[in-house]
Amino acid sequence: TGMKVVTSLLRHNIVHAKHHCRDADDIWKECCTAVASDNPKQLRLKHFLLSVVLRMFSDAKVSVMSPLLATTMFHLWAALSDDLEERLSVEVCIHLSDCLAEIFSSPEKGHLAWPVYQSLCKMGMAAFVDSCLLTLFKQDQLGRESKRCFLASVMSYDSTNFVCLAKVLLKNDDKYERLWQSGLLDMAASTLVMKTYTQGSSDEAVEGIMSKVAEVAGNRFLTLLPGMENKGAQVLSLEMIVDVIEKLCFGGYNVYEIQIVRLVICVAASFQEEEINESVVIVKAFLRCCKLIPKLLKKVVRTKGEEEELTMLLEMLLGYTANLWERKDCFSDDAISSSSSIVDSLIVSCLKYGMMDTSAFASSSVFGGCLKIIRLILSQSSEDMFATEGTIRPGQVHAMASSHSAFDLAVSKKEELSTRLKSSPISRSDGESQFCEGLSQHSHSAFGLAISKKEEFSTRLKSSPISRSDGESQFCEGLSQQQELIRLLLCCVSLDASHVKISTDAWGSVLSAYDASTSVTDGLLRRLLFLYDANKCCENEILLCDYQWGAMCKKHSLRMSADESAPPFDEQQSWEWFLDSLNHDRIRSTLTQFPIADTLVPVAESDVESEFRNASNENDQMDTGMDDMSESSSFGVGDDSDGNNSSAASLDEPKEVTPASKIHSTTDIWRGTGEDPRYSPGFILPLVLGSLEANFPKERGAGKESQGADEMELDKDDDDDDESEEDLAQHQAFSVIARRLCDRGCISLAIASLSSRCPSVRKVAVAICGLFLRALQMKKSHEMKSWRERPQQEMIMASLQRGLTVRRAMQIKKLSEAGDRVELGSTSVSKQRFNVTMLPALSAVFLAKALMIMSRPSDDMYGAMNKYFLRLNDYHGAFQDCFGLPAFLSLYCSSSDDLTRCRTERNWALLTLKDSTVDEFCYRIISQHHVPELIMSSFDSLCDQVGGKSELSLTIDVIQCLIQSGGSRSATHLIKRLGLLSWLHGVISWRSISTVLPFATLKCKFLQLISTAVTSYCDEYSNSDSLDGDQTIFLEKVPLADAVIQICLDGSDASSNESHTVLAAACDTLWTIHVADKKQGLAMQRVGLTSLAQMTNLLTKCVENDELFAQALISMSALPYSVSGDEQHGHTPQLFCELALTFMLEERVRLCRGDTITILKRVYDLMSIFSKLREDTELVTTIMQCRHIAASIRDGVQ
């Protein structure tokens, strides 16, 4: 009661007195004296006075305080901060801190702050900082919140003497980490940075302070993600973070501002608050990146990329700049217009260094990233931005790039991209947090270490058991300087075609870099050449004969004639360069996997070109799309695969399907080894047609000439007896060029192009075939005694011509019976398919190869092919097997008495089947003729033949090609109906591995076949499960894995290199099976087929390679095993546990959480079964050392 009375009196005096209050001063002084005293007799007085003071704070006002009272309160705070063992002392100290902080925060209370600051200086800044931190420690323990930060308020008053705070903030202690996580140091660190930046201090501790501020902002951001309850605290802390970021983005602290830029991205992406205007910060961060990239580029070029840390920082900065630019919608028009010079400087710098010679650098991906960032800025900019005065336009960028001193080298330099295989154990998880990307080992602050610890619990990789933590940026990964330069040029032409001009030398440089293939680079170059020609960007008119690509290109080959009335085709124009440029081996490679999706008009890059800015480009793409859609709906594959197998059934029209399901799913990705050598039919065929038309003999009547050239109607009665010498010379020249083109393989390429999805390509192909047939039937050709193979070639071409005519007649009849009107030559989408029939690649490639064989009488298959075409009698020898398997069954089931010829025909049939199976359309025909069943049945006989391993290898290739090309249809038919997975492990389960697969190449092929089949099964059933809602169990996991292990442990490999190749293929296949099991659902655990000794033996083979060891260990830890009697008392279980635990303990690679728990469960299972393992002291010690790994995972300790 007495305390309440005294408290009320004191509160009354303090609150309402307008003059100096001696009673309050005396109470504060007595309280200070009692707190400072060590006399235990005054302990009760101390508690009484502290309780009185604590009750006074609720109504205390700074406005009535005197300087003496303020100084007394500070002395009381200093005395209490040294002894905070009692809760009452902590409460009073916290209230005193709030009151004193208000004194320093209010500018009008300078008369109170000055005497307190003098007392603070006498106390010492180091002691003051320690006292503040001790108070914060206790405040954190009690969970109390303070209104203000006393330390931050004093620093806002004067921050010049707080160098000691930098050392304190950089302490790596658990207590300080808790303060950071709780946010109690946020305001102090923020104030120190803001004041240091304002005052421009050059102290050595500034760099460390910047590091800690980056740590504070990062940790506070992690705690401010959505889901927190205290919304007010979040907004307050986020405002503080935004203020600090805004200063640091223009602060010039180059070491740590990359982390700050990342924080800007995180604030904008993960936390949206109406009170926060993040657009201002994003603009400033983007502009800061634009300033930093040129500086960092110079350093990287100066060091020639030898300093990996600088290169990594540049890659990260480029990625963050692209991320910020994607949020350009938040930019204000004023901010963009006022900062156009900064962006232009970035473009100029990136273009200057991005195109430089990179032969002295280890990798050019970072320079590709520089060109990519220019393209992103240009493609995503608005027309208003280009209209701003002084802004660099795309046409100017193109001019600078084409006139660069290294343009010729940059556009023609081919390099291998550092792309990673799907099964590579060093690929990163797609689910890994983008925020954590880039800070793992390149940040030396505690924040970087904390992030690296979080990364240990990244999501499970779909394609790899090992996750990366090196902070590698994904923006520049795998980029090619050449490809990015071409994409940049494409972007400039599509955006600003009217201002793009290219010189003759630049045209020659681009054309010399083009190799006429279907690779990604050549596809981009072909599109660029097309846009140059379509938009008339060249100085001179470009003719068809000017496309002298590659090594044959001559920079001055363009026609320099100023006469605009010159004819489009010069009669004296020589096409020798074209014949010399053709490579017969590349023609054959094109036929091995014909690119059916290649188009006559190069397809636009959707992510590179802005089609809405180029009307002509948009129309071109629309026409191509309409053509493809019409063909898709006309000749798509039906869903019914159980059709009739007769020849009449093969002529039935395929059922209609949607365009997107058939055309746009077709891919022409090269499945062979090395670079893609295939020619682009859309580029080569017009040149072939041009060379034929340039040498086509002029008829005496112009109408006849037009009729023969355009519609290719054959007329053998055109040759008169009284032909002039000039006419004879023209006929002879035409025959010679036609024969030479055929010898080069161009006519075979044209025949194969009849399977193209593009109607325009097929039209050109038919025109070539028509002109070649005209040449074959000319009188001058008959008189050429050296052209001995002409009759057989004429037989094939005439058979093809009649076959197409019969096919079109059947289509017209079928449509007429349905009551529809037929218009031949119509360009409408619904009628266009009747002009040129689209053949399946099975028939087109067969005809192309047959023409090559018939052109060489010495070929082993000459007799079989000649016999096949001589037997065609219907419709005067018309080729009617357009939609079937021509000659396959007769050749594969050859009844020849000569075993060598029989084997040759079988191998040729298999090779042709492999080469011509390119899509689901082909597989439908193959399945209708029961070819997969026939091949799988003959595989058993080949396994037992000693000399049939070449055919066995080819059979494996055929089955794998059927799986890869057949899509969902082959997955359903081969795996579900024919039981391919069971057949794969059953065919070798009872045979000797060394007898069936005696060579390492055969083993690798068979393992790759298992991996391909499992992947197809996984993809097909994951899609069906998502639709049906039921989870399919992968029942073939155990026998397939056992077959893989048995193949790997077979000791018949001759050299160590072969053994390592088989081991790598086996581990990759085991990992594919493991991933498929995880994707489909775990099967019931049962006794396995593989013994524990075999698993351990495989692990010992992989100890020298961490990636292979991780794949094998994780895969086999999820497999059931069997234990023999000898293993009960052996060292096999102990060795398996030691290998697994040692690998985890050393952390040579980083394992994902799900994989770690899989290994721990296997070790626990072995420890439970084999009781002697628990008596092994070393093993138990290793287990105890692994507890830190187990404790970080749910259920890991158990």
Q: What is the mean pLDDT of residues 733-750?
A: 93
The Cα-based distances of 734 to 726, 750, 814, 976, 1177 in angstroms read 12, 18, 39, 55, 90
Q: Which residues contact 870 (CB under 8 A, 6 or more apart)?
A: 795
Nearest Cα neighbor of 974 from 935, 948, 1027, 1004 is 935
Q: Nearest 5°: phi and psi at 41?
A: -70, -25
Residue 587 reports pLDDT greater than 90: yes
In 644-781 the beta strands, taken as DSSP E runs, fall at: none
pLDDT at position 62 over 50: yes
- How far, in Å, CA of 337 to CA of 848, rounded? 60
- Give the distance from CA 240 to its chain's centroid: 37
Distance CA 1090, CA 1120 (A): 8
* Residue 51 one-letter amino acid: S
**pLDDT, average across residues 1002-1025:** 85
The pLDDT, as a whole number, for residue 702 is: 46
**C-alpha 113, offset from chain centre:** 60
- pLDDT of residue 196 exceeding 80: no
Which pLDDT does position 1018 carry in this prediction? 85
Mean pLDDT computed over 21-41: 65
The span from the CA of 1001 to the CA of 949, in Å, is 11
Q: Tell me: the pLDDT tens digits for 691-700?
A: 999 888 876 5
The pLDDT assigned to 463 comes to 43
Percent of the chain with pLDDT over 90: 26
Q: For residues 1099 and 261, which has the higher predicted lDDT (pLDDT)?
A: 1099
Q: What is the mean pLDDT of residues 143-150?
A: 75
Rounded-to-integer distance, Cα 142 and Cα 349, Å: 55
Reply yes or no on whether the pLDDT at 562 is more than 50. Answer: no
- Interval 238-269: pLDDT, tens: 556 656 665 655 544 444 455 556 656 655 55
pTM listed for this prediction: 0.75
Decide which of 38 and 140 is more confident.
Answer: 140
Residue-by-residue DSSP string for 819-875: T----TT--STTTGGGTS----HHHHHHHHHHHHHHT-TTSTTHHHHHHHHHT--GG
Q: Specify the pLDDT at position 625.
A: 38
How many helices and strands, by DSSP H and E, does the chain display?
57, 0
Neighbours of 890 (CB within 10 A): 16
Report the pLDDT value the prediction gives residue 542, as an integer from 0 to 100. Answer: 83
Q: Is pLDDT of 469 > 60?
A: no
Distance from chain centroid for Cα 932: 34
Q: Distance between CA atoms of 98 and 94, rounded to whole angstroms?
A: 6
Instruction: Select the highest-mean-pLDDT range: 2-11, 284-293, 357-366, 761-770.
Output: 761-770
Residue 773: pLDDT over 90 = yes
CB burial class (10 A; 0-12, 13-18, 19+) of residue 380? middle
Instruction: Please compute the mean of the pLDDT values over residues 127-135 and round it to a whole number.
Output: 83
User: Which of 80-89, 351-360, 911-920 has the highest mean predicted lDDT (pLDDT)?
Assistant: 911-920
- pLDDT category at 96 given cuts 50, 70, 90 is confident
Return phi, psi of residue 679, to 5°: -75, 155
**Distance of alpha carbon 679 from its chain centroid, rounded?**
26
- pLDDT top residue among 677 and 71: 677
pLDDT band for 432, please (50, 70, 90 cuts). Answer: very low
Residue 563 banded pLDDT, cuts 50, 70, 90: very low
Give the integer Cα–Cα distance in Å for 459 and 956.
36
Question: Considering the chain, what percentage of its residues have pLDDT values greater than 70?
Answer: 66
Q: What is the pLDDT of residues 500-535, one digit of tens each?
A: 998 888 888 899 899 999 999 999 999 999 999 998
pLDDT at 796: 94
**Statement: residue 979 has pLDDT above 50:** yes
Average pLDDT over residues 83-98: 79
Whole-angstrom distance, CA of residue 377 vs CA of residue 326? 9
What is the C-alpha R_g of the chain? 40
**Band of residue 37 on the pLDDT scale cut at 50, 70, 90:** low
Residue 978's CB is within 10 A of a number of other CB atoms, namely 15
Q: Which two tokens stand for residue 506?
A: 């630049």
pLDDT reported for residue 1168: 87
> Residue 832's pLDDT is what?
52
Per-residue confidence (pLDDT) for residue 262, from 0 to 100: 60
Q: Does the structure show a pLDDT above 90 at 954?
A: yes
Q: Tell me how far apart the alpha carbons of residues 603 and 781 are, in angstroms, rounded to a whole number.
A: 39
Q: What is the pLDDT of residue 551?
A: 78
Tell me what pLDDT residue 556 has: 45
Contacts 24+ apart (CB under 8 A), 884-889: 884/647, 884/650, 884/651, 884/842, 884/843, 884/925, 884/929, 885/842, 885/913, 885/925, 885/926, 885/929, 885/931, 886/842, 886/843, 886/846, 886/847, 887/846, 888/912, 888/913, 888/929, 888/931, 889/929
Asked whether the beta carbons of 685 and 592 are under 8 A apart, the reply is no
175-184 residue pLDDT tens: 776 776 676 7
Q: Round to whole Å and give the CA distance between 310 and 314.
A: 6
Residue 650 has pLDDT above 50, yes or no: no
Min mean pLDDT across 219-233, 373-387, 1100-1114 is at 219-233
Quote the CA–CA distance of 1007 and 1066 in Å, as a whole number: 6
Helix (H, G, I), strand (E, B) or coil at 517: strand
Partners of 538 in beta bridges: 502
Output the pLDDT for position 169: 64
pLDDT, one tens digit per residue, over 805-822 is 988 888 888 877 776 665
Winning range, highest mean pLDDT, from 154-168, 404-418, 947-961: 947-961
| Selection from 225-229, 233-237, 632-636, 1153-1157 with the highest mean pLDDT | 1153-1157
pLDDT of 20 higher than 90: no
Are residues 492 and 398 in contact, defined by beta-carbon separation less than 8 angstroms?
yes
Q: Is the pLDDT of residue 356 over 80?
A: yes
Q: Exposed (0-12), middle (13-18) or buried (19+): which is 539, by Cβ within 10 Å? A: middle
Max CA separation in the chain (angstroms): 143
In sequence order, what are the beta bridge partners of 679? 517
1013 has a pLDDT exceeding 80: yes
Asked if the model's pLDDT at residue 876 lies above 50, the reply is yes
Alpha helices in 271-393 (DSSP H): 278-302, 308-325, 333-338, 340-354, 365-379, 383-387
Q: Contact 657/699 with Cβ under 8 angstroms?
A: no
Higher pLDDT, 520 or 1028: 520
pLDDT in tens, 898-930: 888 999 999 999 999 999 999 999 999 999 999
Of the listed ranges 235-244, 530-539, 1008-1017, the one predicted with least confidence: 235-244
Neighbours of 231 (CB within 10 A): 10
Of 178-187, 715-724, 863-872, 1167-1176, which gets the smallest average pLDDT? Answer: 715-724
Residue, of 206 and 762, whose pLDDT is higher: 762
Secondary structure of residue 404 in the 3-state scheme: coil
Tokens of 187: 């305001």
Q: Which 3 state secondary structure label does DSSP give 250? A: coil
| Residue 846 confidence (pLDDT) above 50 | yes
Report how far residue 190's alpha carbon sits from residue 155's, in angstroms, rounded to the nearest whole number: 10
Distance CA 163, CA 169 (A): 10
Q: Say what the pLDDT of residue 569 is.
A: 45
Using 50, 70 and 90 to split pLDDT, how confident is the model at 561? Answer: very low
pLDDT at 1020: 80
Q: pLDDT at residue 444 above 60?
A: no
Distance CA 692, CA 838 (A): 23
**Average pLDDT of the segment spanning 102-111:** 76
Q: Which tokens hold the place of 1172?
A: 């002697």
State whether the Cα torsion 338-342-343-348 is positive or negative. Answer: positive
Mean pLDDT, to the nearest integer, of 1108-1114? 92
pLDDT score, position 984: 92
pLDDT of the residue at 48? 76
Q: Would the pLDDT of 407 be above 70?
A: yes
How many CA atoms within 13 Å lie on the side-chain side of 291? 15
Q: At what angle do helices 949-970 and 931-944 cross, to 10 degrees?
A: 150
Arithmetic mean of pLDDT over the chain: 75
Helix (H) or strand (E) holding 1075: helix 1056-1080
Residue 336: per-residue pLDDT: 67
